[in-house]
Structure 1
Amino acid sequence: MNLFIPRTFMALPLRSSRGASFCGFALKCEGGVSMVQGASRGIGLQFVTQLLGKKDKGHVIATCRNPNGATSLLDLKKKFDERLSVLQLDVTNENTIEASANSIRERYGYLNLLINASGVLSKPEVLQPETTLSKVQKSSLLFAYEINAVGPILVTKHMWPLLKLGGGSGTERDVAVVANLSARVGSIGDNQLGGWYSYRSSKTALNQLTKTVAVEFARRKDPIICILLHPGTVDTDLSRPFQRNVPEGKLFTKEFSVEKLLSIIDRVKSNDNGKFFAWDGQEIPW
């Protein structure tokens, strides 16, 4: 299966009055070009599904470590062949991130939205949420940090030129958006329970890195803002081993959470740059 949009659907690049290179698809990419990193399952897959299903315009690039094994994503590709591209990207391998950026540049020319959705909470024999300091291991801390903090920032680094070219063109926003999925447990001010050292601190690192990127984009006057999103406790493979103590009514479906998060993304403004939002639109303290 060809995982890219065939070139028969492409036209020569168009050049805006600002000198930015934009793709020449039918409708001039009305609806914009969105990328979801970590799209093979869970919240990432649901982002792709809703971006395609709730809007009849716009193109989506879905990335994951193993596209050939992402059966649900490939089913979407069959249904939305002209609007969906699937690329291989491993956040622990910067070469694959750079290769994805090059492919997007060749096929689209720009981006309007980047959603970094990949993350890890536990992995057998590698990482388990630590209930006490005595269980903290260097290898677990570094593993969580690499996936949850380093990966999304490296993706943002390589997609930066594409987002700068895209801005809000083709969308109802005046800026491009980088939306990084964080977690309330990453908030230092909200930390009342302790524990979960690796996951908690890696999300805190993501928050600081994203805030720093947001400050730089603003200083450079790039047409991009960065936000952090807390999806709530969502019924996914990531949370399933730890759902027993979730209060009634606080375990959300993927569909509900992503719908809420997309509504936040759709209405953000330039002055929201660097903010940390919960699924209900409320700001979370750092």
Structure 2
Amino acid sequence: MAAPVALIQGASRGLGLEFCKHILKNKTPAAVIATCRDPDGAAELRGLVGRHPGRLTVLGLDVSREEDIRGAAERVREGFGRLDLIVNSSAMLHPSGKGETSLRDVTAQGIIATLTTNTVGPLVMAKYFAPLLQKGGGGFGAQLAEKARQHSGIIVNITAKVGSIGDNGLGGWYSYRMSKAALNMATRNLSIELGRSRPRVVCVSLHPGTVNTDLSRPYHRNVPQDKLFSAEHSVSRLMGIVDTLNMEKTGKAYNWDGTELPW
């Protein structure tokens, strides 16, 4: 059986970079394809290539540009022929770096930019990479005994608890909340369409908790110390969930601890 192949979108830093490290360390001999906007400026990612020769491939991909996604999918098809896992990791809180605290802060430009990266990008990724996931060998997740319910590949969209409509009791952060709520709907839609395909693809949204990354750092002051995770801890928990995924768990959102997150 060929080694599994994982693609991490948004891999130059934060959670994306940690997903690459985790899979390279713990999923031998899996191959990792890491995408980011500026591979030349991704020093840590380039260092990983040197430490894992032959297992890590870095591709330039700006998730806001459909032509970039289409081109990357073609390169993966030519170089690997299939995929077993995609993690859509890149995200922005807002172009300003701060979530809107009130309606006065909302701008059309800010909403469009946030939605483009956080929602449109992952959906367009699925459009071009789903055919490669349908050729996967099920190298990630847990296969069901019943062959008719087995999966070929997995799509993981990194969501956020603040994108849960049912859990929203504070308001604010219009662009980010809306983008993650819409991403959850995209995940649900994808799970239905790709759950009908032959072979099937598992699609889930995963909430990583509050992670010590550039995106959340301005808001750490109000986070209890035991609820602020390192990227390494968060990714370890998320990959623990990925290891349990099957077609019975598709189309849902899960917290870092495996509990289901309300839409």
Distance 1:248 1:172, change over 3 A: closer
CA contact (8 A) 1:168 1:223 kept: no
Counterpart check, 1:54 vs 2:26? yes
TM-score with structure 1 setting the length: 0.86
Tell me how far apart the structure 1 counterparts of residues 115 and 57 of structure 2 sit (CA, whole Å).
28
The residue aligned with 2:147 is: none
Where does residue 157 of structure 2 map in the other structure?
180
**Alignment equivalent of 1:168, drawn from 138, 141, 145:** 138
CA contact (8 A) 2:142 2:245 kept: no
Alpha-carbon deviations, 1:190-228, whole Å to 9, x = none? 001111001000100100111111111123343211000
Could you tell me how far 1:72 is from its partner in structure 2? 0.2
Partner Cα separation in structure 1 for residue 226 and residue 184 of structure 2: 27
Aligned position for 1:150: 120
Asked if 1 retains the 8 angstrom alpha-carbon contact of 2:140 and 2:243, the reply is no
Q: 2:142·2:246 contact (CA, 8 Å) conserved in 1?
A: no
The match for 1:29 is 2
Deviations 1:91-112 (A, max 9, x none): 1111111111111111110000
| Deviation, structure 1 residue 172 | 5.4
Q: Contact 1:29/1:59 (CA < 8 Å) preserved in 2?
A: no
Task: Output the CA distance in 1 between the equivalents of 2:61 and 2:178.
Answer: 24
CA–CA distance in structure 2, aligned partners of residues 47 and 98 of structure 1: 23
Return the alpha-carbon distance in structure 1 between the equivalents of residues 225 and 16 of structure 2: 24
TM-score (norm 2): 0.94
Question: Which residue of structure 1 lines up, in the alignment, with residue 231 of structure 2?
Answer: 254
Structure 2 spans left out of the alignment, 5+ residues = 144-149
1:209–1:172 distance in 2 versus 1, CA, 3 Å: closer
Aligned to 1:98: 70
User: What one-letter code is carried by the residue in structure 2 that aligns with 1:195?
Assistant: G
Q: Give the structure 2 partner of residue 135 of structure 1.
A: 105
Secondary structure of 1:87's counterpart equals strand
1:119 matched to 2:91 = yes
Distance 2:171 2:115 in 1: 18
Are the aligned partners of 1:181 and 1:229 in contact in 2 as well (CA < 8 Å)?
yes
Q: Distance in 1 between matches of 2:42 and 2:156?
A: 23
Q: Mapping of 1:184-223 within 5 angstroms? A: 184-223=161-200
CA displacement, residues 52-111 of structure 1 (integer Å, 9 cap, x when unaligned): 011221111000000011000000000112111110110111111111111111111000
> What is the distance in 2 between the residues matched to 1:144 and 1:43?
18
- Shift of the 38–170 alpha-carbon distance from structure 1 to 2, 3 Å rule, reads closer
CA shift, 1:241, in A, is 1.1
Deviation (angstroms), 1:134? 1.8
The Cα offsets for residues 236-257 of structure 1, whole Å up to 9 and x where unpaired, read as: 1111111111123110000100
Distance 1:248 1:75 in 2: 31
Number of aligned residue pairs: give it.
Answer: 256
Secondary structure of the 2:155 match is strand
Query: Which of 229, 239, 253 is matched with 2:206 structurally?
Result: 229
Task: Determine whether 1:239 maps to 2:209.
Answer: no
How well do the aligned residues superpose, as a CA RMSD in angstroms?
A: 1.4
* Structure 1 residues 80-95: aligned runs within 5 Å: 80-95=52-67
**Structure 1: how far apart are the matches of 2:73 and 2:169?**
40
SS in 1 for 2:226: coil
Cα offset for 1:146?
0.4
Cα distance in structure 1, aligned partners of 2:210 and 2:21: 19
Identity of aligned residues (%): 45
Would the aligned equivalents of 2:163 and 2:178 in 1 still touch at CA under 8 Å? yes
1:215 and 1:170 mapped to 2: Cα distance? Answer: 20
Residue 165 of structure 1: SS of its match in structure 2? coil
The match for 2:243 among 262, 266, 278 is 266
Distance 2:107 2:228 in 1: 29
Separation in structure 2 between the aligned mates of residue 281 and residue 244 of structure 1, nearest angstrom:
26
Q: Which runs of 5+ in 1 are unaligned?
A: 1-27
